[in-house]
Amino acid sequence: MLLLRSFAELGAGISLGPNSLEALELLGLGDTFKEIANMSEENPLWFRVLDGRTGTHVTDVSAVSRSSRQTRINPYLSNKLHIKGRHAFVHRARLLERITEHLPPNVHIYFSCNVVKVETIHAPVGYQRTSFVHVTFQRPSADGTPRSQVFEASAAIACDGIRSNVRECLKPYCGGRVRYTGTYLYRGLLDMHDAIKAIGERARISTQRMGLDRQISALPIDGGKTLSVSAYVSDRSLDPDQRIWDAPRWVIPGSTQQMLAAFNDFGEDAKSLLKLVKKADQWALHELVPPKIWTAERVTLLGDAAHAGQPFNGAGVGQAFEDAYVLTELMAHPACNASTIPRFLQAYEDVRRERARLQQAHSRVSGEIYQYRGPMGDDTVAIAAEFQDRFDWIWHVDLRADVAEALQKLKSAGVVA
Ligand SMILES: Cc1cc2nc3c(=O)[nH]c(=O)nc-3n(C[C@H](O)[C@H](O)[C@H](O)COP(=O)(O)OP(=O)(O)OC[C@H]3O[C@@H](n4cnc5c(N)ncnc54)[C@H](O)[C@@H]3O)c2cc1C
């Protein structure tokens, strides 16, 4: 068994929009984040969209929404990170490392631990305490055999990703089903010097290259030292529920030859970048059919465990940060205690679920548009028009209003004064 002592490579870089930066700022992580991210302060260009086959410029997408371009600033937003359409690219592992610096000293991180069970324990009638949660971990002992350990808590918040074990523990009430999207991808982290040697200075610009059932996304991360490349290959010939990934693992070995063959009709720029990808494994892209509920008494889901979608809006991490902000604010309320906490968890779910569900559905269609399977087919003029404001509703959100709405509902229910 591989024992982790720190955050692993975790694949690649991620792109974060204004809503993600807003949530980070509200969580008090804004300054830390600025130290590690490729942040655009003034330049509103977030990413360039090209036709992958011809290299023709389709459009430049800005994170400044049409509405905030008109009004300059959305008045309710915290404003520090948000204005000027800021957006960022960051290395996942660096982000996690830096976030953990903010944890209080009595919070421990256990690596290589597997949560195998979460259950709510009801105190016997007449017993002077509320119900509570048992979280069962398996940890490897010195000789490598797994050892179980049970933690007791007032609540459990599961951020254990798309294959959440905790979500399984909430079944049958919870529902939610993981399915293959019909898309797999090749990923690589390229040295920026090599990328510039291959295609020139334009390697520094984050770019989406579109093609029929294929797409190459290239994002500069690590302060511009690394180019994170993802090359997507899709088969949408079957209905979404019938697409099968026919391998026990989600990552299987592939070859550079296979990868280059899949992008054979793409332009020289695209192929030159792909030739630099050292390990051309195939990563199967899965998504979560939305669960019926996220919360069961003292247990709730957060992030991909609740709403893993396809990555084409570049918004999954932002959704998790939004969840985290809303939940943190609610749990910090003076009326939230061991006995009322289930009501606060439910209020968090009620205010977050619809936006997360919409983001999942919207991201699936974004992937279809990039891969010429959307309503505008390969009409790049129509695609350019669509991208002018397609992501605005995700990027420009009033998270404090969500918290206020949740608190208002708790007030109406008599939970908070
Ligand atoms: C190819 C690709 C590109 C993407 N690009 C972007 C992007 O540019 N921008 C963006 O915002 N989003 C992007 N996303 C989406 C983003 O990766 C996810 O939405 C995000 O990582 C969700 O965070 P999470 O913490 O909920 O889950 P995860 O990142 O999956 O983290 C879950 C954690 O839980 C741990 N875990 C799992 N099971 C257990 C267990 N039983 N016990 C203990 N620990 C457990 C895992 O080891 C992991 O550390 C992309 C996704 C993919 C697949």
DSSP E strands: which ranges in 122-192? Answer: 132-140, 146-153, 156-158, 177-191
What is the number of the ligand 1 atom nearest to the C-alpha of 316? 19
Q: Say yes or no: CB of residue 304 within 6 Å of ligand 1.
A: yes
pLDDT band for 322, please (50, 70, 90 cuts).
Answer: very high
Contact 340, 347 (CB under 8 A): no
> Which neighbouring-strand residues pair with 206?
none
Summarised one tens digit per residue, pLDDT across range 18-61 is 899 889 999 999 888 888 776 665 566 789 999 999 999 999 98
User: 106 CB contacts (<8 Å, ≥6 apart)?
Assistant: none
Secondary structure letter of residue 182 according to DSSP: E
CA distances in angstroms from 181 to 185, 232, 258, 285, 373, listed in the order given: 11, 11, 20, 6, 14
**Domain layout of the chain by residue ranges:** 1-43+55-177+292-417, 178-287
Q: How many residues belong to the chain?
A: 417
CA of 159 to the centre of ligand 1 (A): 9
36: enclosing H helix or E strand: helix 30-36
Summarised one tens digit per residue, pLDDT across range 151-181 is 999 999 999 999 999 999 998 888 889 999 9
Summarised one tens digit per residue, pLDDT across range 133-148 is 999 999 888 887 889 9
Q: Which residue CA neighbors atom 37 of ligand 1 most closely?
A: 160
Please state which of the four CATH numbers 3.40.605.10, 3.90.1150.10, 3.40.50.720, 3.30.9.30 is assigned to the domain occupying 178-287. 3.30.9.30
Q: Which residue CA neighbors atom 19 of ligand 1 most closely?
A: 316
Assigned superfamily of 1-43+55-177+292-417? FAD/NAD(P)-binding domain (3.50.50.60)
Q: Say yes or no: CB of residue 178 within 6 Å of ligand 1.
A: no
User: 81 CB contacts (<8 Å, ≥6 apart)?
Assistant: 18, 21, 22, 24, 25, 30, 33, 34
Q: Say yes or no: CB of residue 315 within 6 Å of ligand 1.
A: yes
As to burial, measured by CB atoms within 10 angstroms (0-12 exposed, 13-18 middle, 19+ buried), residue 382 is middle
What is the number of the ligand 1 atom nearest to the C-alpha of 306? 26
CA distances in angstroms from 235 to 83, 106, 213, listed in the order given: 39, 48, 7
Q: Say yes or no: CB of residue 320 within 6 Å of ligand 1.
A: yes
Rounding to the nearest 10 degrees, give the CA dihedral for residues 359, 312, 227, 82.
-30
